[in-house]
Amino acid sequence: MNNSRILDIRYPKNNTIGLLVHNDYASAAIIDGKSKLPSSKLIPVFDPCATTLLRDPKYANNTDSSFLQTETVCIHQNCLTRIVKRIHNQHVQLSVA
């Protein structure tokens, strides 16, 4: 797969890589990934806002699930905002946003 088609790479948890690609190239990315990493497995439904992804020790003793969910959504939205700001091609930036 051409590197320019990968808009962002994230590592949401241990042994997990998230690729942000345009919808038109998603199937090609899956096929290419499976051929180059045959021992890997695809996670078709991954929730980037799952509270289990919070690894910061400041959340360790917090049991308020509503607060934790709000924090994960806020963290995820901040990551997405940074992704859009890093894209220099304005046409692509608007498509991603």
Which tens digits make up the pLDDT trace of 22-33? 778 888 877 777
Q: Is the pLDDT of residue 97 over 70?
A: no
Q: Same domain, yes or no, for 36 and 75?
A: no
Helix (H, G, I), strand (E, B) or coil at 6: strand
Q: Same domain, yes or no, for 28 and 55?
A: no
User: Of the candidates 8, 28, 4, which has an alpha carbon nearest to the alpha carbon of residue 84?
Assistant: 8
Domain finish residue from 46, 64, 80: 46
Q: How many domains does the chain have?
A: 2
Domain that holds residue 82: 48-96
Q: Is the pLDDT of residue 19 over 90?
A: no
What pLDDT is stored for residue 73 in this prediction? Answer: 94
Q: Same domain, yes or no, for 15 and 42?
A: yes
